[in-house]
Structure 1
Amino acid sequence: MSTTIFLGGADADGSGTPDDAQALLLKAANRHGIVAGATGTGKTVTLQVMAQAFADAGVPVFAADVKGDLSGIAFPGTDTHKAHGSFTSRAESIAMGPLTYSAAPVIFWDVFGEKGHPVRTTIAEMGPVLLSSLMGLTDVQEGILNIAFQYADDHCVDNPDFLILDLKDLRKLLAHLGEPGVREEVSRKYGNVAPASLAAVQRELLVLERAGAEAFFGEPALQLSDFMRTTTDGRGYVNILDATKLINSPKLYSTFLLWLLSELFEQLPEIGDPEKPRLVFFFDEAHLLFNDTPPALLQKIEQVVRLIRSKGVGVYFVTQNPRDVPESVLAQLGNRIQHALRAYTPMEQKAVKSAAASFRPNPGFKTETVITELGVGEALVSTLDPKGTPSVVQRTLIRPPASRLGPVTDAERAEILKASPVLGQYDKMVDRESAYEILTKKEADAAKLAEKARLEAEKEKEAAAKAKAKAKAPAKGRTTTRSRRMSPTERATNTAATTISREVTRYILRGIFGNMKK
């Protein structure tokens, strides 16, 4: 198997020779690289050529397909293309030899699950640092998020299912931390949880949901081993992330790719400098990764790029201008392919000078001038030699691709998905018990206890009222005291009875004692 990837041939005078060949050493491919150039200069074709060449060499590839054009790598190409002319003629001009058209083995992925297998991770795996960057939180708000993660970690000791897996878990946990009793307890143990800061994090979480991130967080989470597959004949799979919709949420796009790099860095073992990479990672629209990046996160990116090569991973940034990449990161990119740049404004002229200065000079031409003269499909190329030294920059006509240029049809994509080695593994989301369910049950149990206490209190109150009423009631068998006030009828009746009684008494007394005294 070849130890190099043929990129193209020097064709300044239109007659290339095998000695003019520009190749990338597989052994140096994990030293990272950059593919730069203005829109329409051929970056995507170069990316496609490199991706398929790595796959043919047995190296799995990951690439984000921002425009949808890269998907054509799944089908063999044809000799002519309206924008690039005859590929056979180009192959002959750079002494490439016979051009054989072939397809690369492809697995389609899509965060939204529409044009590929869903790609998911959990909130816990993302971590508070990347999540804070994704949400655009301040330092104080990031502190709140760190407290939430620590709270969940501590509760996992007693309940292993207390996990933050998706957005509803995090939403419920933040609401739980905002409850008065809980907030005071958490503030004493972890630090102040200000209601205003907590509310701000909850608002940013809502913004994140509306940006479509809900589809990205959950289970089953992506297994990195599925990104590092090879076919039975030893070729590496080209993992294409359809980003035509994801790119509309630039922050989510860049954070997802950075998370993926971080996971590779964390999970893969050290292997030093292998004969070929274990995985090659193409980061298209790389400027999105570095736009408004906090210093702490930029430092983390620099660390990952610097150290991940020892894990056997090569990272290639694809962007319009090398200045899109910070100098600290750019210095670590040993393999460079520079397509044409425009220089109409002072700022663009400064960018051209900066790009030219990044190459090892060629005494045969002025690099700064050639950058602006390159045609479509041409590039300035400098790769690392066996000793790790950058080669002298060469003007190069990039080789034609063996696969199709342009996107696949929906029917063709469906056929590729049906034959995928991960079919059915990620397609259905699983929602197991986690923080949301545990806290919801806890709230329900608390509500039941509160309702039970309320009913018991009402029963006690009712019993007390009955006891009080009973205490005031007369004893059984006792004559009920009547009112001393009499009605007129009662008074008349009583007067008549009294008169009659008096007369009867006088009659009796007269009969017994004789006449009464007057």
Structure 2
Amino acid sequence: MSATDGLFLGWTEDDGEAHARHLRFDRANRHGVIAGATGTGKTVTLQILAQGFSDAGVPVFCADVKGDLSGIAVAGTPSEKLVARAEGMQLTLTPRAAPTVFWDLYGEAGHPVRTTVSEIGPVLMARMLGLNEVQEGVLSVVFHVADTEGLLLLDLDDLRALLVHVGENAERIGREVGHVAPASIAAIQRSLLQLEQEGGKAFFGEPALRLEDLIRTSLDGRGQVNVLHAARLMNSPRLYSAFLLWLLSELFEQLPEIGDPEKPRLVFFFDEAHLLFDDTPKALVDKVEQVVRLIRSKGVGVYFVTQNPADIPDSVLSQLGNRIQHALRAYTPSEQKGLRAAAGSFRPNPAFDTSEAIPALGVGEAVVSTLDEKGAPSMVARTRIRPPDSRLGPATEPERAAVMAASPVRGVYDTPVDRESAHEILTARRGEADAAEAEAKAAADKAKADALAVKEAEKARIVREKEETRIRREAEREARARAPARRSTRETPLEAATKSVLRTAGSTLTREILRGVLGGMRRR
């Protein structure tokens, strides 16, 4: 097989003869697994595959869990041991770097990787937050409210603001979509706080990652190797696994169907794959199985990197056609069971017992089975893996900085953008409501103050009138006290008798005088 048809992995000894072992490019989208105990060479094999695909013009995405994979961006300096190994494989090492773009969810050791809360969706967000089934249902209600009210969910501030909004309107929303328990809202808010403390806040926002910036080729036709710095990310395994699953889902949804191409459109390496399946609900495992099964028709190959194939559910493992198994240690009964399961996943080779060969593998050796031109797995073969052309070991900080300075996406994602979304809209609404409430309260307070003023004025009038009345009466009493004493009008008995005699005498005298006057007149 020529280099244009397949990726050279190393040499296989078969019946005393050496045979080159290749991974066919036209079968690379049938997925694969790279397994082995720590220190047996998994990361180097990943690096060889990544650079091999890149040389063939295939873009690659891989996670750098320990930092060693960053050396793919630097030309190697082969040691005497590596040169001797290459010569033993009839291989001439050509030290060269792969065209590399560094990414980092936290924006520390690579370009920031962001997406929006809406794009993640309630299922993966629930996975990130570690929610139970009831809380996931409430989270789905929150996303439904965002859609119906036209509220953009871009970052965690938006999600938190919408949780408060749903909690404040739980009765109204509950009549439409079901009961929203305040306890569930509080639990989600606590999980959000924990995710923020783990550094997850930096992952949500804009500008969001565009898939076309991952699926690039360099000017010389080589595929871009996208290296995700995951050393810190591994401290948040739920965030790590949910992010990679989201990326797979986005590739599945956005890329068109192309069937089985001559070479993949993109190869995706999922390191520490067991984190994807630890404590994972069955619904999410079913989602992974669906994506892995169907995404191959989009021209995407998915390769899981883990310590033991048993870490991967059988429903997913059965979809992985290309298998590279490094050494496994089997000291405990559970490890021996895992070893038998790993050996049993290969097509047997009459030349050796796979379950005995796997523990005896040295560093840089593996048992390998790849798909042939008909898509059938080849017999397992013990293979010496070739050394890489790029550096074995991490890139230095100046080397990483130089790669980022020459990056084709430099300046595209480095500055965050915060446009109007749910948080700003709900804050504005709450501000308007608070202003209206404050205005209504001010009006009520004014009316109350006016009524109180009227009441106080009336009280003051009454007090004033009472005071005026009191002052007037006091004045009258003082006036009466200052006036002379009045004589009594009552008559004593003596005075009454005297008055009667005088009245009688006066009447008699008057009559006598009148007679005299009248009688004289008659005589004349």
Counterpart in 1 of 2:62?
63
Q: Cα–Cα, structure 1 residues 184 and 88, in superposed 2: closer, same or farther, change >3 Å?
A: same
Q: Is contact 1:9–1:95 with CA below 8 Å preserved after alignment?
A: no
For 1:435, give the aligned amino acid.
A
State how far apart, in whole Å, the 1-side matches of 2:269 and 2:482 are: 123
**2:7 aligned with 1:5, yes or no?**
yes
State how far apart, in whole Å, the 2-side matches of 1:115 and 1:389 are: 41
Counterpart in 2 of 1:506?
none
Counterpart in 1 of 2:75?
76
Q: How far does the alpha carbon of each residue in 1:438-495 deviate from its partner, in whole angstroms, 9 at most, with x for none? A: 01111110111011111111222233344456667879xx9996238855x9646523
Counterpart in 1 of 2:325?
338
User: Residue 293 of structure 1: which of 280, 302, 307 is its match?
Assistant: 280
Counterpart in 1 of 2:83?
88
Q: Is contact 1:75–1:103 with CA below 8 Å preserved after alignment?
A: yes
Q: Is contact 1:11–1:93 with CA below 8 Å preserved after alignment?
A: no
For 1:315, give the aligned amino acid.
V
For 1:437, give the aligned amino acid.
E
**2:113 aligned with 1:146, yes or no?**
no
Equivalent position SS for 1:277: coil
Q: Cα–Cα, structure 1 residues 480 and 374, in superposed 2: closer, same or farther, change >3 Å?
A: closer
- State the 1:425 CA deviation: 0.4
Residue segments in structure 1 that go unaligned for 5+ positions in a row:
157-161, 504-513
- State the 1:88 CA deviation: 2.4
**2:373 aligned with 1:386, yes or no?**
yes
Equivalent position SS for 2:38: coil
Counterpart in 1 of 2:99?
105
User: Residue 440 of structure 1: which of 416, 423, 427 is its match?
Assistant: 427
Q: Cα–Cα, structure 1 residues 403 and 493, in superposed 2: closer, same or farther, change >3 Å?
A: same
Residue segments in structure 2 that go unaligned for 5+ positions in a row:
489-498, 503-524
Q: Cα–Cα, structure 1 residues 271 and 26, in superposed 2: closer, same or farther, change >3 Å?
A: same
State how far apart, in whole Å, the 2-side matches of 1:188 and 1:47 are: 53
Counterpart in 1 of 2:167?
178
Q: How far does the alpha carbon of each residue in 1:347-401 deviate from its partner, in whole angstroms, 9 at most, with x for none? A: 1111111111111111111111110111100000110001000001111000110
State how far apart, in whole Å, the 1-side matches of 2:179 and 2:473 are: 77
Counterpart in 1 of 2:447?
460
State how far apart, in whole Å, the 2-side matches of 1:384 and 1:103 are: 28
Give 1:110-125 correspondences, 5 Å limit.
110-125=104-119
TM-score, normalised with respect to structure 1: 0.90
- State the 1:11 CA deviation: 4.2
For 2:8, give the aligned amino acid.
F
Q: How far does the alpha carbon of each residue in 1:275-318 deviate from its partner, in whole angstroms, 9 at most, with x for none? A: 10000000000011110110010000000000000000000000
- State the 1:150 CA deviation: 0.3
Counterpart in 2 of 1:273?
260
State how far apart, in whole Å, the 2-side matches of 1:44 and 1:496 are: 123
State how far apart, in whole Å, the 1-side matches of 2:481 and 2:211 are: 113
State how far apart, in whole Å, the 2-side matches of 1:473 and 1:226 are: 81
Counterpart in 2 of 1:48?
47
State how far apart, in whole Å, the 2-side matches of 1:465 and 1:88 are: 98
**2:215 aligned with 1:228, yes or no?**
yes
Counterpart in 1 of 2:227?
240
Q: How far does the alpha carbon of each residue in 1:49-88 deviate from its partner, in whole angstroms, 9 at most, with x for none? A: 00000000000000000000011111111221xxxx6222
State how far apart, in whole Å, the 1-side matches of 2:96 and 2:13 are: 25
Greater C-alpha Rg: 2
**Over aligned residue pairs, what C-alpha RMSD do you find?**
2.2
- State the 1:171 CA deviation: 0.7
Q: Is contact 1:35–1:318 with CA below 8 Å preserved after alignment?
A: yes
Q: How far does the alpha carbon of each residue in 1:173-208 deviate from its partner, in whole angstroms, 9 at most, with x for none? A: 1111111xx111110111101111111111111111
